[in-house]
Structure 1
Amino acid sequence: MKITGTKLFSILGLFAALLMATLLVSCGGSDPTATPTRTPASPTFTTPAMEPTQAMEATSTPDSANTESSMESLSGTIAIAGSSTVFPISEAMAEEFSKQNSGVRVNVASTGTGAGFRAICAGEAQVSNASRPVKQSELDTCAENDIELIEIPVAFDALSVVVSPNNDWAECLSVEDLATIFGPDSHGVVTNWNQVNPDFPDVGLRLYGPTTASGTFDYFTEAIMGEGGAHRGDMDLATEDDPLIAQGVNGTRGGIGYFGLAYLAQYSSLVNAVSVENPQTGECVQPSSEAVESGTYQPLARPIFIYVRADLLDENPEVEAFVEFYMEEATALVPEVGYVALPQEAYDWNLGRLASRTTGSVFKDVAPGTPLNTVLDRLQ
């Protein structure tokens, strides 16, 4: 496939081409205000002492009513840990998979992307959810334990900046505005909205977002500040429990936070989405499936992933069967959850990578917001 420098592709077409190029080298519309049918776990606001991982844990248990209709005589337990962004997709897949494979128990825990990689590299999980690409240091940690990972993109997300419904001034923010609000140099210094823009009112900033273990945190800091981990530390709330971010932003007029598109859809009654100014075009763009598909929501559109242990697939057929099911059902279930599905061809290519046990990462060195045609040129 030849990519010219002047030809403009949609983000999904580019992504599909990226996966095809990688496979050859290795050889082996959702409205943000609409509530999806499958939704992230509802927050338990009456129990503030609850740990985030407890609040966002799901276990898919065998359904005795489906025993006779199981597609395969599979058994075992699959442990999935990691990103809260990917959690609702994997939770939905686990639920549907167990309906057809009653002997398999699938446990899905939301612990943050970094914690998910630590778990899979320590042999505590078979699959990790990730809202950013794996880091080389994480691959090295896995290798020290004789564990290799297969990288499987599962969807596109629009990392969404949200404010209180009572905020009537921050309708569109630039990358520079977001860096002023969340950047490390603003710690203890930028505390009022009128410090971000003198046209904004004299209202205190209240900041909500993920923890430093989160892939969303890593992606946001790289995309907005240009450096992973570059973020102010005086947040009003940092949590892996995304619904609590929505509740915090809702609770104060000056609140602002960020999380994945599925949570924006689920909690649209609590928060308003902020348009982000595209640095290339100057256009203010709302986070949405359509904006992701058109490639206009930059630099906060991103692929999201699962990673699978290649070393145990041969001896644990239930794990491979689950990932195959994930790819076969993604076109239907990913939009239902609230994210943007890849083309079916991309999921088919993922199946090829799974079958050939192709390990390593295509995406680990790709900077957020990099045009995918540039990435394609690099890989050919």
Structure 2
Amino acid sequence: MSPRSYRRIAAFCVLALLCSQQSVFALLNIDGTRNQVFVFGNITFAYDSNIFSSGTDESGDYIYSASVGVELKRRAGIIAVNARAVFDRQEFQKNKTQSAWNPTFYLEFNKTTGRTTGAITINAYRSSRADSAVNLRTQTWNFPLGLNIKYPINDKFYVTSSSGYLKRSYTDGSGLLNYTDYSESIDLLYVFTSKTDVSVSYRIRVGQTTLDTTTDQALMFGLVNQIIPKLNGAVRLGFQRRTVDKTGGSFNQITASTDVTWIVTRKLNIQGVVSRDFSTTAVGGSVDSLSAQLRAAYDFSRRYQANGGLGYGRNRFLDGTTQGRRDEFFSWDVGVTLNWSEHLRASFSYNYLHNWSTLSYSDFERSGYSLDISSRY
């Protein structure tokens, strides 16, 4: 099918959504609100000036995508169930080999009552994206599992535990390394005031590829919930160590995990995120990653919203074939959203990123825009 045909079909779908007076999808309620079924979909028209995030193959392309999905929410009994399935198709106008199906399946069991609360999450999804660490587009199947538990010790202390598993498999025959991740994080929290908790956190994470195994251990201290009046979220700072089994290498650094929101007015809020952590590239190298982002959102009315953000990051490649490489990037984006009705939303966004690298093929600029129309019933 030609790009012109895709555009005609998409335009027809948009016109039908905008002109319809009645829902074309059904929201099914069983036993009141105990069991609900939602149906949703969206179409996206986008342009990406550098689909490979590469300094040598700066190929721009138009991308058309459409997705449909169904979601189940069950609220009967002590265990709540959330299930979702999404089928997404992405079409590139020129780079046909990058077109892909990217389905997502998600299942959650959530217990919110009783002394011990928590959730089990099971997820499987296919991803097609540009990976700036290897300057390629990668296609992967990802299988994350999670178990989160909260247990109150007494009126002042409580413990949370977060266990995770991730399996990432590359499907495009690019020779990149599959990755498996096991993690466990335990937090001891003290209710300092009615609005602020003090936390002590320990995390261990084991990552495996066919080349090597890495072990990350981190000890962090921080504040959770209200940091200061009008500033809410979590601020954690500590020390982290990574050891690499086969080479015997080890790396130490200050680690940070901060995500706070400032409610400036009823219409304006500002979010700040700072993170520093170790990561593993698709070729098995260790990276010291530091990133900071500042975002703002403003509600003109219930129908119109605007948002924007600034970002900065630095990546130091510590070992492997890219040892000694250093990247820095700056990004910004703006967007507007129109809530056409309770069930129909349209948004437009523009983004820009510049990555400076000590390797010429990793030094690149990337910009793009997208128009997204979504509906949910």
User: TM-score, length-normalised on structure 2?
Assistant: 0.26
Bigger relative contact order (CA 8 A; separation at least 6)? 1
TM-score of the aligned structures, taking structure 1 as reference length: 0.26
- Bigger share in helix: 1
Q: Which has the larger radius of gyration?
A: 2
> Is the strand fraction higher in 1 or 2?
2
